[in-house]
Amino acid sequence: MNPFDPHSISSLQVPHIIRLSNNWASLSLAERTEAFIRLTRAEANDFFLSLKHHDQAEIILSLPEGEQRLWIRLLPPDDLTDVLQEIPSEQRQLILEQLDTPIRKEVLGLLAYQEDEAGGLMNPRFARLRPEMTVDEAIRYLRKQATHVETTRYLYVLNHEQKLLGVVSLRKLFTAQSESQVQDLMRTSVIKATETMSQHAISELFSKSSLMAIPVVHKSGEMKGIVTVDDILEVVQEAATEDIQKLGGTEVLNEPYLKINILPLIKKRAGWLTVLFFGEMFTATAMAYFEHEIEKAVVLALFIPLIISSGGNAGSQASTLVVRALALREARLGDWWRIFVRELAIGTALGCILGFIGLMRILLWPSRLSIYGEHYVLVAITVACSLVGIVLWGSLCGSMLPFVLKKFNLDPATASAPFVATLVDVSGLIIYFSVASVILKGSML
């Protein structure tokens, strides 16, 4: 969006616009179109500009062709490109034809980039100066450009071949002597992005540099556009949403929960749920292997859910923390060993805590003799030792799995709580029954 646009200081605080904006997600398409048409032109302008690209696309498609033109013209080229990417390619062509030739050329150029790289995020309209201009000339020149550039905060100094020579902040220009030349004020070491830089790398550049805009430069040195921090805000939100959804064990929805239709939502959830179900089937196989032990000591079965889910919970904690640390680049692939050592200590400590509680639970339970039998002390020791082993094992699995995924170029966020829990369930049963067969041998087994 173009925040420099006078529209952006908008009438959004008018109560019924705010209400509409808040309820938008819960309205049907027909209700939305109707509500939109009922707005005054000025309200509709503001409201349209405040919408996300997905919603803007929806409105444009719902309008008659003559009206579409009005709205697509309101958008600066980078936003228009994002909106067009939300529109199926047949209809996209029809909309492109409604644009004036120079803008169409600009938009077609931007459409060639991936949506999630610098080229796809950038706005080709930025404030430019020539190196030999004086400060007064530069300010006059700037006043001419001001209407159609995205920001005048940073002024980019280009030569005749459009190569980026340096950058001057408006502040510096404002506070300099009128006769100074731009080339003496500009900073020549400039933080810049290439067209193919990923949105993630750019958001890192932003948070490290605290710039409000970063120039996008072709490898020839030619400047192509700027990416502004407000575009990145949406990117950061979206990336977090995707990670959260993956960590919850679903595919990424790409649409608000209440807007996505039921059938695709079932599809996105059934996929992982089925995979996990197949993984979890190994528990039935493992249990069948120990059927004999269970028959002899039914009391062992009582603690199965308690034990395996504690391992899963510990694993889910570890994987979530590591996945987020990797996403924020607080931890890198090479840190796996340090994290392994940490989790070794933490897993042991947590295992001991739960093991102790488990031990006490059985030893002090009022009806321990009637439920757990004469060997209840041995059962308690079995449960406690298994808990130590399984919680430790869960912490190690949960913390290492994201690294394994990343190593194989898969998304670490796939190491969701349900995924780790399933992994730990199967191995947890084996740990539990192995511990039991050692401790209970000769008494119950």
β-pairing, 223-228 with 213-217?
antiparallel
**Residue 261 beta carbon to a second copy: minimum distance, rounded to whole angstroms:** 10
**Residue 93 beta carbon to a second copy: minimum distance, rounded to whole angstroms:** 28
**Residue 417 beta carbon to a second copy: minimum distance, rounded to whole angstroms:** 4
Contact 95, 145 (CB under 8 A): no
Nearer to a second copy among residue 52 and residue 218 (C-beta): 52
- Written as six digits, the tokens of 309 are 């889910």
Phi, psi dihedral angles at 157 (to 5 degrees): -95, 115
Nearer to a second copy among residue 68 and residue 283 (C-beta): 283
Nearer to a second copy among residue 112 and residue 248 (C-beta): 248
**Residue 61 beta carbon to a second copy: minimum distance, rounded to whole angstroms:** 21
Nearer to a second copy among residue 224 and residue 324 (C-beta): 324
Q: Residue 158: beta bridge partners?
A: 164
Contact 253, 151 (CB under 8 A): no
Nearer to a second copy among residue 371 and residue 404 (C-beta): 371
Q: What's the rounded Cα separation, in Å, for the pair 145 and 148?
A: 6
Q: What's the rounded Cα separation, in Å, for the pair 351 and 439?
A: 18
**Residue 56 beta carbon to a second copy: minimum distance, rounded to whole angstroms:** 12
CA atoms within 13 A on the CB side of 245: 18
Nearer to a second copy among residue 108 and residue 345 (C-beta): 345
**Residue 313 beta carbon to a second copy: minimum distance, rounded to whole angstroms:** 4
Nearer to a second copy among residue 30 and residue 258 (C-beta): 258
Nearer to a second copy among residue 144 and residue 160 (C-beta): 144
Which residue in the block uniquely carries the two structure tokens 């007064």?
136
**Residue 109 beta carbon to a second copy: minimum distance, rounded to whole angstroms:** 23
Contact 296, 440 (CB under 8 A): no
Contact 151, 228 (CB under 8 A): yes
Contact 77, 103 (CB under 8 A): yes
**Residue 269 beta carbon to a second copy: minimum distance, rounded to whole angstroms:** 5
Contact 94, 65 (CB under 8 A): yes
**Helical residues (DSSP H) of 224-298, grouped into ranges:** 229-247, 262-289, 291-296
CB atoms within 10 A of CB 64: 6
Residues in the chain: 445
CB atoms within 10 A of CB 137: 16
Nearer to a second copy among residue 329 and residue 441 (C-beta): 329
Phi, psi dihedral angles at 347 (to 5 degrees): -60, -40
Q: Residue 117: beta bridge partners?
A: 198
Nearer to a second copy among residue 86 and residue 91 (C-beta): 86
**Residue 66 beta carbon to a second copy: minimum distance, rounded to whole angstroms:** 27
Q: Which of these, 328, 318, 292, 290, lies nearest to 396 by C-alpha position?
A: 318
**Residue 316 beta carbon to a second copy: minimum distance, rounded to whole angstroms:** 5
Q: Which of these, 20, 154, 8, lies nearest to 79 by C-alpha position?
A: 8
**Residue 161 beta carbon to a second copy: minimum distance, rounded to whole angstroms:** 22
362 three-state secondary structure: helix
Contact 137, 145 (CB under 8 A): no
Maximum distance among all alpha carbons in the chain? 98
Nearer to a second copy among residue 4 and residue 61 (C-beta): 4
**Residue 395 beta carbon to a second copy: minimum distance, rounded to whole angstroms:** 9
Nearer to a second copy among residue 174 and residue 408 (C-beta): 174
Residues 244-267 as b or e (16 or more Cβ within 10 Å = b): ebbbebbbebeeeeebeeeeebee
